[in-house]
Amino acid sequence: MDSIHTPNRSSPENRECIWMQAGIVRKRYCQADYLCSECRFDRMLQRTVEKNRKQKQEGNILKGKKGEIVSWKEKLHGLPPTQQPCIHHMKKRIEFRTCTNEYNCGNCEFDQFFYDQYAVHAVVEPVEVIDIEGFKVPQGYYLHYGHTWAKLESGSMVRIGIDDFALRVLGPPDSIKIPLMGKTIQQNRAGIVFNRRKNQAEILSPISGVVTDVNPRLVEMDSGLPAMDPYSEGWVLRVHSKSLRNDLKKLMIADETENFLKKEVDHLYQAIEEAVPLAADGGQLAGDLFGNMPQLNWNKLTKLFLHT
């Protein structure tokens, strides 16, 4: 059995681009967590490869460095069979394994095994984290205004969770109700139910799609979510989305997320000041605000921040 592991992604030098590993480009490091379909550099090279292929078919002589560019698959086919690395090894997901299917991943039994076993249970490890007055969100994660996040995976798969802000405001849940596998969820509609004591909050889904997996740790949890990183082992579910491109346009990322969270922190301080005068002293807010400040109104918090 191949050793499947989660790599240390803290340093870009650990993430050589697929085209660099194949020897097509001299130096290029992945900034997209190996989601090649989302990478502009990959699309640019693919267009160059296709252009070169057409030129060769027409009998034209290709000149310059661009004319030498071939696909990374074609380049690797030139290696001895025992040295042709599996794409999952190139993406730092497994130890070395040779490709046995000529890089036709769509009908590869190991590729299917990998996504059935590894992708469901792998821990998402954020590369960089934005810190807004103590509230955190990783770079590369899409954020919904209802404080859920979406992390793109291979193909049209998306991992979904509840962000650090919502969990620290509402505190540790007693249980989380998650849609069953096979169910369809809709963007901007309630898809997850958060239960705390006698209170309940519906949480909006950031993405539309069919639920393919749920986090077994949450299904079996006993108020265990706060002990888990909400952006890694505390993920809630995974969906397969057919409307991903349009859905992502309605989410926030990078600077948009930072600006949004700053405004949300201001709104939170205002809510605390109204409920507990002088409680917000300007320092960073601790976790479990609802539990530590019973004067805060649950319905007001969920309406203000979850929009439900």
- The confidence score (pLDDT) of residue 263 equals 95
Of the chain, the percentage scoring pLDDT greater than 90 comes to 48
Candidate ranges 39-53, 119-133, 267-281; pick with highest mean pLDDT: 39-53
Q: State pLDDT tens for residues 243-256.
A: 998 999 999 998 89
- Asked whether residue 4 carries a pLDDT value surpassing 50, the answer given is no
Structure tokens at 155: 């193909």
Work out the angle at residue 247's Cα, subtended by the Cα atoms of residues 46 and 150, and round it to the nearest 5 degrees.
90
Contacts 24+ apart (CB under 8 A), 290-299: 290/169, 290/170, 290/171, 290/196, 291/171, 291/172, 296/271, 296/272, 298/196, 298/199, 298/201
- The confidence score (pLDDT) of residue 232 equals 87
- The confidence score (pLDDT) of residue 184 equals 96
Q: Which residue has the higher pLDDT, 285 or 269?
A: 269
Can you state the percent helix, strand and coil of the chain, rounding each to 5?
A: 35, 20, 45
Cα 166 to chain centroid, rounded? 18
Give the confidence band of 257 by pLDDT, cuts at 50, 70, 90. very high
**DSSP letter assigned to residue 159:** E
Q: State pLDDT tens for residues 6-44.
A: 444 445 557 899 999 999 999 999 887 788 877 889 999
Q: List the domains of the chain with CATH numbers.
A: 12-121 (no CATH), 127-308 (2.40.50.100)
Q: What is the largest CA-CA distance in the chain?
A: 79
- The confidence score (pLDDT) of residue 305 equals 96
Q: How far apart are CA 28 and CA 44, in angstroms?
A: 14
- The confidence score (pLDDT) of residue 246 equals 92
Cα torsion angle, 205, 188, 273, 280, sign: positive
